[in-house]
């Protein structure tokens, strides 16, 4: 980090792009994100062919993550045609979501300002931007994404939704981008042991997500079938890991079906793993890389 940025708070950005299979495209997009701002560090790239989605984690000072997101958006628009995306993960854009993450409550304002600057820069790339979360009175990604890209285009055309920045209709190949400022969440998936079914995963997700009969605070969950991997998955965002630690999420699923493995997507706060069951494997999980506090302390 430069001398000018040394005293500034560190923010994260976690752009999700709708490409998880073309490694050359993913690498080029990640490199564009990383090179788009002074002092921006690339902490992680998580790619998934079934979701057809990659999640990039960046760290940097205020004023630099927004141009980094715009640079990555240009690379994504050049390499992703949303009309060809058949991933199982809900999506509405080539650069689908671009949240700015604050790690301390006192940095909330800086994150909100950075996210709004990012939204303006993304709009200049021809992308309509819709805000969610803190910047949109709590409106969620799921509410915006309901029905997928075609339904969102219809709602925009009908005036049921309006872009907060940029053109009023989706980009012809890049769709729409969702922008937020938020504290850290945990993107966490659990694979059910065979012979689990998609219906079973959906039933579990409906039971444990916030608002369900056994709902857990801040938990978003859906059931998915991963054809390439041959797996049935409960895919989740734990938006309040302080209230819903991963050990409780795992216990709630295990009470309803045998578990095969878990997966962490991108980075998570170290405290989210307190008391995590040691007998549940998380393939590819490396604490030095995937726990936020440890990743930020690395010198590379």
Active site residue 91: no
Q: What is the pLDDT of residue 1?
A: 38
Classified by CATH at the fold level, domain 11-182 comes out as Formiminotransferase-cyclodeaminase; Chain B, domain 1 (3.30.990)
Give me the residue spans of the domains in the chain: 11-182, 186-297
pLDDT (tens digit per residue) in 154-201:
999 999 999 999 999 999 999 999 999 999 999 999 999 999 999 999
Q: Kindly report the CA angle at 206 between 204 and 209, in degrees rounded to 5?
A: 100
DSSP secondary structure letter of residue 201: H
The answer to whether 268 touches 219, Cβ cutoff 8 Å, is no
| CATH H-level superfamily of 186-297 | Formiminotransferase, C-terminal subdomain (3.30.70.670)
pLDDT (tens digit per residue) in 118-157:
999 999 999 999 999 999 999 999 999 999 999 999 999 9
Number of separate helices (H) and strands (E) present in the chain: 9, 11
Q: What is the pLDDT of residue 299?
A: 64
Question: Which residues make Cβ contacts (< 8 Å) with residue 300, sequence separation at least 6?
Answer: none
The answer to whether 80 touches 72, Cβ cutoff 8 Å, is no
284 — alpha (psi -120 to 50), left (phi > 0) or beta?
left
Of these residues, 89, 91, 171, 290, which one is catalytic? 89
Whole-number Å distance between alpha carbons of 180 and 133: 6
pLDDT (tens digit per residue) in 97-116:
999 999 999 999 999 999 99
pLDDT (tens digit per residue) in 18-46:
999 999 999 999 999 999 999 999 999 99
């Amino acid at each position: 980090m430069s001398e000018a940025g040394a005293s500034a708070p560190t923010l994260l950005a976690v752009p999700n792009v709708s490409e998880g299979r073309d490694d050359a495209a993913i690498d080029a997009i990640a490199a564009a994100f990383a090179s788009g701002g002074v002092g921006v560090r690339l902490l992680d790239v998580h790619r998934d062919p079934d979701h057809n989605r990659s999640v990039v984690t960046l760290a940097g000072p205020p004023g630099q993550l927004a141009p980094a997101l715009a640079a990555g958006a240009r690379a994504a628009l050049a390499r992703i045609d949303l009309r060809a995306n058949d991933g199982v993960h809900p999506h509405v854009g080539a650069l689908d979501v671009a949240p700015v993450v604050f790690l301390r409550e006192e940095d909330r304002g800086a994150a909100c300002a950075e996210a709004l600057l990012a939204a303006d820069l993304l709009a200049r790339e021809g992308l309509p931007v819709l805000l969610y979360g803190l910047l949109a009175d709590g409106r969620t990604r799921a509410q915006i994404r309901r029905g997928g890209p075609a339904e969102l285009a219809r709602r925009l055309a009908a005036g049921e939704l309006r872009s907060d920045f940029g053109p009023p209709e989706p980009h012809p190949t890049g769709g729409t981008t969702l922008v937020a400022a938020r504290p850290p969440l945990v993107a966490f998936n659990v694979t059910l042991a065979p012979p689990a079914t998609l219906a079973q995963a959906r039933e579990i997700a409906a039971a444990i997500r916030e608002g369900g009969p056994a709902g857990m605070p801040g938990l978003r969950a859906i059931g998915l079938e991963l054809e390439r991997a041959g797996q049935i998955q409960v895919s989740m965002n734990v938006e309040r890991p302080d209230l819903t630690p991963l050990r409780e999420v795992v216990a709630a699923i295990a009470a309803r079906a045998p578990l095969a493995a878990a997966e962490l997507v991108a980075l998570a706060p170290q405290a989210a793993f307190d008391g995590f069951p040691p007998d549940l494997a998380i393939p590819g999980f490396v604490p030095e890389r995937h726990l936020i506090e440890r990743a930020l302390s690395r010198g590379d």
